[in-house]
Structure 1
């Protein structure tokens, strides 16, 4: 029965693989015969629920060097690896992990098999399993970061490194396994903000990473599934946002540059990817096909990086019901007492 279920899972994933290997459409290269949908005011219609379920990693793995793309054969092998992993329902994998494990399986099969055996022998419970995770799709790109051209963030400034060291000291030292204890992880997050929203960029991938866009002539609204947050962006004003109260999503202004919507954001209450709250963010939304929205953002923060950097993501229509349900975050509110009781028990055991 288990083999039968695995075979069915792989067969279903193979069908998804065909779609995953379809040529990626780039801005300015619309499919033949496709006409840009437009609203009554003549601008491109960006409305809909868009999902960012790409497996492409944020930064290019160092093992790939200057390779901006993979071959179709490499991508097929990586997608097949994840299809099999999904079919057997192992521990849930998040963020860049699906891509990195699949890449390791292609580059060094024996080493990845050994690592997989060690992971399977770990009986600790820290997450749920892969059954609950969305299918990630693979394409030829090796990073979401497109500038710098090496696919990796620019060097960090000494000021940024000092901030990181201060934060690390506040969290405390990790245990023998190199990981923080659960108590340290909980203490590192202010209880008042642990269910805070996604922030000023749409960077979530593969985990509650749906975004619904509503559009009128004067405003754009983006409902973010993760923590159920909504950004409301006035349109038509290309001037920088004036100073004002800082918020998690910042203060945004949008304007059209041809068929691309450009959104400028400042006045952040918290940074992005380790930046300060003084970071300036420029987002660009472009419809590049009937089922593809290109989302690009540039982050400029001289206090954190030696140069601005840009990432580009491709979003597809979200699968499912066409509705974003409320993300009712209670993140450990009921389990906190038991989690900390377990940590105190481990302390007494000297573990």
Structure 2
């Protein structure tokens, strides 16, 4: 992840109260009963409402070391989850207030690569401010090696020949353009969250605030996302818009198929592209209450211009103990003007250096009249 984005968005941590997480271990170790029947709400719908979290150690794509193996061994699970304890203890050691801004991480023994890329602490915050997940994701009680399940290696499928390569943060190239605020990412500008918390498809961002609230009405399914306080409103039993508009999270319509809420999203904007796919992308999500403390989330991506066939995967939400508070991203967000201001200083310094090159005329002194 681009460090500029991390610095800009991590400022919101100061403004947002820290959520309290329910212990995931007991819930994660319990395999949902096959005969579980979701309770009904006042509208007669299967009840998905409540506060949930998808924080996890399990990545979207399977690490190559696991090959085609979709499930961890008990020994692997124990090792991965024990490492988090060491990471937290090491990351919460006091920070030297006199350390320079570009100081190396205090230690690299238990620092994840993505944290090391941010200087060891995301945006300068100690590990205690983060909640990237402390448990391997269980689905149906199985500890998974990845969220992607439709390919043998747990990786996204190959792209079609000639398909454009997906662009990185800000459109690629030195973190995107620094010309003006509009050229920076939507997340960095506090318009929507960074990562793919809101999606679709929805994934934990690997750092913090991977929490949600599901609200149901007779004609809508609402997903409140803690990261940047995003809100997805899914219209039930409706049709997709035809006016050409592409909302931030696409145009989502939903329906019930038995106990499962099926959400279909199209009209996704280019800035919310997933692996380069947006114009012809259709994302189908399925939410199913599979236990008192589990909601299974399944996703499928269909873009015939990029992939030969639809692909996707699944994971499970666990309960969040507490509620979601406002994510006040702009309160104390000094990083964005700092990033742009720094770019102006770089430009001025470059102009001075160019003017001072041999053969360049020296700047006139003493005003318009020249030297006295």
| Residue 157 of structure 2 corresponds to residue 154 of structure 1 | yes
Q: Out of 130, 135, 150, which is 1:137 matched to?
A: 135
**128-137 or 45-54, which deviates more:** 128-137
Q: Which runs of 5+ in 1 are unaligned?
A: 1-14, 92-111, 173-179
Q: Which runs of 5+ in 2 are unaligned?
A: 1-21, 94-107, 138-142, 193-197, 354-372
CA distance in 2, matches of 1:57, 1:124: 20
1:119-146 Cα offsets, whole Å, 9 max, x none, are 98x9788733322111432242001011
Quote how far apart the aligned CAs of 1:113 are: 5.5
Structure 2 vs 1, CA of residues 199 and 48 (structure 1 numbering), >3 Å: closer, same or farther? same
Q: Name the counterpart of 2:327.
A: 326
1:237-257 Cα offsets, whole Å, 9 max, x none, are 4xx524231112111111111
Quote how far apart the aligned CAs of 1:18 are: 4.7
1:36-78 Cα offsets, whole Å, 9 max, x none, are 2211232211111111101111011111111110111210111
| Residue 216 of structure 2 corresponds to residue 215 of structure 1 | yes
Flag the structure with higher helix content: 1
CA distance in 2, matches of 1:339, 1:88: 32
Q: Name the counterpart of 1:243.
A: 242
Structure 2 vs 1, CA of residues 82 and 278 (structure 1 numbering), >3 Å: closer, same or farther? same
CA distance in 2, matches of 1:164, 1:64: 25
Structure 1 or 2, whichever has the larger Rg, is 2
Query: Which secondary structure does the structure 2 equivalent of 1:315 belong to?
Result: strand
Contact kept, 8 Å, 1:200 with 1:248, in 2: the verdict is no
Q: Name the counterpart of 1:176.
A: none
Query: Whose RCO is larger (CA < 8 A, sep 6+)?
Result: 2
Structure 2 vs 1, CA of residues 346 and 291 (structure 1 numbering), >3 Å: closer, same or farther? farther
Quote how far apart the aligned CAs of 1:35 are: 4.7
CA distance in 2, matches of 1:341, 1:256: 53
Contact kept, 8 Å, 1:252 with 1:263, in 2: the verdict is yes
Structure 2 vs 1, CA of residues 86 and 344 (structure 1 numbering), >3 Å: closer, same or farther? farther
Alignment of 1:184-263 (within 5 A): 190-191=183-184, 193=186, 194-197=189-192, 198-206=198-206, 207-237=208-238, 241-244=240-243, 245-263=245-263
Q: Out of 38, 50, 64, which is 1:48 matched to?
A: 50
Query: Which secondary structure does the structure 2 equivalent of 1:335 belong to?
Result: helix
Contact kept, 8 Å, 2:177 with 2:184, in 1: the verdict is no
Matched length = 295
Quote how far apart the aligned CAs of 1:275 are: 1.1
Structure 2 vs 1, CA of residues 213 and 251 (structure 1 numbering), >3 Å: closer, same or farther? same
TM-score norm. by structure 2 comes to 0.67
Alignment of 1:1-351 (within 5 A): 18-19=25-26, 22-25=29-32, 29=34, 35-89=37-91, 127-128=123-124, 129-134=126-131, 135-139=133-137, 140-160=143-163, 162-164=164-166, 171-172=172-173, 180=174, 190-191=183-184, 193=186, 194-197=189-192, 198-206=198-206, 207-237=208-238, 241-244=240-243, 245-270=245-270, 271-319=273-321, 321-329=322-330, 330=333, 332-337=335-340, 339-340=342-343
Quote how far apart the aligned CAs of 1:273 are: 3.1
Contact kept, 8 Å, 1:212 with 1:324, in 2: the verdict is no
CA distance in 1, matches of 2:204, 2:122: 21
